[in-house]
Structure 1
Amino acid sequence: MSKIQDTEVRWGILGVGNVCEVKSAPAMNLIPNSKIVAVMRRSEEKVKDYAERHGISKWYTSASDLINDPEVNAIYIATPPNAHLELAKLAAAAGKPIYVEKPMARTHAECLEMITICEKANVPLYVAYYRRELPHFRKIKELMDAGILGEIRTVHINLKQKLDATLITKVETNWRVDPELAGGGYFFDLASHQLDLMDFFFGKITHASGFASNQAKTYEAEDIVSGSFVFNSGVLGSGNWCFTTSANAEVDETIIYGSKGTIRFETFGKGEFTLNTDEKGTQDFSFELPKHIQQPLIKTIVGDLLGSETCYSTGISGARANWVMDQLVKEKV
């Protein structure tokens, strides 16, 4: 059944910042039965510039004005997380489906409020965890579901990044390390993708605990997190995230261990992974990623709204990543 009373999804975008330049928004005009009709940003100069460069005829500096534009029938919230809840309230009140950037909100409690609001208003809520639809991650899940690794035992996430020296003088302009705006630091920005991907692979995480610290004290948010978690499928997991290492210590590697082999991949790298099994040894897989990285997910959202397919990155699944992050940073050391 169609979730909008139209044959076309006509997007209004709130917050046309960097993510809307290549990653997401341009894809909305490439997907059949989908187009951008209006954009909004508080800066008139910046929103007008974006609209002109991307060939969009209508622009606003008021979120309410865009949401209540009768031509707009779906809302993409592309602001920092601190605005997600309030903007979702406005969009839901207008009866318009919502696609919100990740992390879904600053806290799990805010996520639950967004879900309740949308359920009461009977509007769909989707979250931009687009890795669920990327070809190499779909292939990894396909291989595991086919039993190539045997029984899945455990998974380990290892993400290390060097300290960004520019933060020392530009912390106030980087919303990603301001807990008031983002909920936490780079952990909330990046690990949210990884934890949602684990949810896609192995199911819901039912138990999680960890430790968080601010070691470098360059900004207010945590800069190192270590924790463990348990999936409802019985798989055990662990992770270590540090954003203040040296350049030569940088790493992005997730390893899935099964009874018959392993899979290794980068979450934020190319569309590649390595499969190593007892039977066939090492095999390397490589997939071309789309120019507009969110396009495969947005295609499922458009299809879901028009009744032709199903999108599996919803407010329900998106909130689960926030719950896990809340648990992992709860214990400060």
Structure 2
Amino acid sequence: MKTIRWGIIGCGDVTEVKSGPAFQKADNSTLVAVMRRDADRARDYARRHGVPRWHADAEDIIAAKDIDAVYIATRPDSHHDYVLRCAKAGKAVYVEKPMAMTYGQCIEMVTTCRSHGVPVFVAYYRRAMPYLLKVKELLDEGRIGRVCAVSTSFLERLPPAADIAGGALPWRLDPVFCGGGIFFDTVCHNFDLLDFLFGPVIEARGFPVNRVGAYTPPDTVTASYAFESGVRGSGTWCFAAERNAESNEIIGTEGSIVFHPFSFAPIRLIRAGQVTEFPIVNPPHVQQPLIQTIVDELNGKGVCPSQGVSAARTAWVVETILSGAYL
């Protein structure tokens, strides 16, 4: 089995712990080079993480003969361009979520990678984490009977006033860089894991609104959706709430499962009034299990559960829900 040689485009915060070290710790994987437009920061990252080489130009990663696969960890507005360039250079691609700014861009990325014979994977890493795999195990074992519905609630306080004062918004709240704001950047994780558990969403309707006016994208969204499997879903997301809280409840004919895919509080199985808790410990580098599946697939062993095709489905759901006017 060969060692997959990686390069990173965009070695920012997400690569410090969540993902970057995993490329060196996964079996049959090594991190050859990193890139950041700020040369000093690229050099510092390489020094601190023991990476042999650093660059300030993405083309040095894309064109490198000693790199087999590229991890794109930049803002969503640049994903489309970098993925197409990597595909044309014959490099396998692992791109951060959200996959791109629009569903149309996602489809073009999948099509271009396919035409150049390279795979595209997306960083919906919860699909490979022990936490979500436990939820799936409980469902597959039929512990709550036939699944009827799933309900999602996500509450979050507004960002500190200093972070949004004077129009100087963080990139996640700037539509130029991140489409529909926090819903676009964060809630895509939730829809992707629901796709993993229940299959594709075939119909969705959303009601996005900006109730507080602290920034342009919606701060409150409600939605309902139908899965191809027959399961029905609904959700409420408010990013101007007085507290932080999040949960998903899967309702079945013989019980329910409550889980928390962001805080990772213990999973609760509720049957006949009895509650069984399953505390699950996260790996230190949460993307490592998914990265391992990518390395294994590139070596012809197994299949990564987070492909460009499934991520594009998630992009369609998010885009459809956000298609309503922001009031």
Q: Specify if TM > 0.5.
A: yes
Residue 255 (structure 2) aligns with? 261
Displacement of 1:167 after TM fit?
Answer: 2.8
**In the TM superposition, what are the counterparts of 1:33-52 in structure 2 within 5 Å?**
33-52=28-47
| Structure 1 Cα separation of the partners of residues 234 and 20 of structure 2 | 34
Residue 127 (structure 2) aligns with? 132
Displacement of 1:81 after TM fit?
Answer: 0.5
Matched, 1:283 2:276: yes
- Output one character per residue of 1:222-259: Cα deviation in whole Å (capped at 9) or x when no partner: 21111000000000000111101113xx2101111000
Which residue of 212, 215, 220 maps to 1:224?
220
| Structure 2 Cα separation of the partners of residues 179 and 244 of structure 1 | 18
Residue 16 (structure 1) aligns with? 11
Residue 3 (structure 1) aligns with? none
Matched, 1:294 2:287: yes
Aligned-residue CA RMSD in angstroms?
1.3
Matched, 1:179 2:169: no
CA contact (8 A) 1:171 1:177 kept: no
Displacement of 1:168 after TM fit?
Answer: 2.1
Which residue of 63, 76, 83 maps to 1:81?
76
Residue 58 (structure 2) aligns with? 63
Q: Provide the secondary structure at the position in 2 that maps to 1:270.
A: coil
Displacement of 1:312 after TM fit?
Answer: 1.4
Q: Provide the secondary structure at the position in 2 that maps to 1:69.
A: coil
Residue 107 (structure 1) aligns with? 102
Matched, 1:252 2:246: yes
CA contact (8 A) 2:266 2:279 kept: yes
Residue type of the partner of 2:81? E
Residue type of the partner of 1:156? S
| Structure 1 Cα separation of the partners of residues 45 and 108 of structure 2 | 31
**In the TM superposition, what are the counterparts of 1:86-235 in structure 2 within 5 Å?**
86-165=81-160, 166-169=162-165, 172=168, 174-235=170-231
- Output one character per residue of 1:126-146: Cα deviation in whole Å (capped at 9) or x when no partner: 000010111121111111111
CA contact (8 A) 1:271 1:288 kept: no
Identify the range of structure 1 (263-272 vs 250-259) with the bigger mean alpha-carbon deviation.
Answer: 263-272
Q: TM-score, normalised by structure 1?
A: 0.95
Displacement of 1:310 after TM fit?
Answer: 1.1
Displacement of 1:18 after TM fit?
Answer: 0.1
Residue 2 (structure 2) aligns with? 7
CA contact (8 A) 1:100 1:126 kept: yes
Residue type of the partner of 2:229? S
Sort the Cα spacing of 1:30 and 1:170 in 2 relative to 1 into closer, same or farther, 3 A: farther
Displacement of 1:54 after TM fit?
Answer: 0.7
Matched, 1:238 2:234: yes
Residue type of the partner of 1:135? P
How many residues are treated as equivalent by the alignment?
325
Q: Provide the secondary structure at the position in 2 that maps to 1:86.
A: helix
| Structure 2 Cα separation of the partners of residues 27 and 140 of structure 1 | 24
Residue type of the partner of 1:268? F
| Structure 2 Cα separation of the partners of residues 167 and 109 of structure 1 | 32
- Output one character per residue of 1:109-161: Cα deviation in whole Å (capped at 9) or x when no partner: 11011111101111000000010111121111111111111110100110000
Which residue of 264, 267, 280 maps to 1:273?
267
CA contact (8 A) 2:131 2:264 kept: no
Q: Provide the secondary structure at the position in 2 that maps to 1:225.
A: strand
Residue type of the partner of 2:263? G
CA contact (8 A) 1:105 1:183 kept: no
| Structure 2 Cα separation of the partners of residues 23 and 272 of structure 1 | 21
Displacement of 1:173 after TM fit?
Answer: 5.3
Identify the range of structure 1 (228-237 vs 180-189) with the bigger mean alpha-carbon deviation.
Answer: 180-189
Matched, 1:320 2:316: no
- Output one character per residue of 1:45-91: Cα deviation in whole Å (capped at 9) or x when no partner: 11111111111121111111111111111000000100000001110
Q: Provide the secondary structure at the position in 2 that maps to 1:275.
A: strand
Displacement of 1:93 after TM fit?
Answer: 0.7
5+ residue gaps, structure 2: none
Residue type of the partner of 1:272? P
| Structure 1 Cα separation of the partners of residues 63 and 44 of structure 2 | 22
Matched, 1:308 2:301: yes
CA contact (8 A) 1:167 1:218 kept: no
| Structure 2 Cα separation of the partners of residues 327 and 270 of structure 1 | 27
Residue type of the partner of 2:3? E
Displacement of 1:171 after TM fit?
Answer: 5.5
| Structure 1 Cα separation of the partners of residues 158 and 312 of structure 2 | 29
